[in-house]
Amino acid sequence: MASLLHTCYRIGDIDRSVAFYSALGFEEIRRSPVGDSATNVFMGLPGDGPRLELTYNHGVSEYEIGTGYGHIAVSSADLDATLAELAEQGITPEKPPYRVKQGGSRLCFVRDPDGYRIELLERTND
């Protein structure tokens, strides 16, 4: 059976991106050189493995995201607490949390340092 191994996208600054994803609860698992031209930084949530691959191509500081990228989603047990912690690090949502449908989970979006959208989805044990 197939399984999803990881998602990858390109970043413009390793330290800036690692700090952002660390604020979301990710941990840096490893860095791997790709010859002399790039570095891959693998990050994951505690206990889950390297699910996010951030590729830094040496000397490239920004990318056009394009129209095909949507977002990745990260769960939060308490969205308000998560947003308060992120605000202390200068990370703010695009707009306040909302529900797509009545009774649905609360969610909001933040953007990483390269402009990629990250959905924060409140998951409760209701």
26 within 8 A of 45, measured Cβ to Cβ: yes
108 within 8 A of 98, measured Cβ to Cβ: yes
State yes or no: is 62 an active-site residue. Answer: no
- Of the candidates 85, 94, 119, 122, the residue annotated as catalytic is 119
- Residues carrying an active site annotation: 119
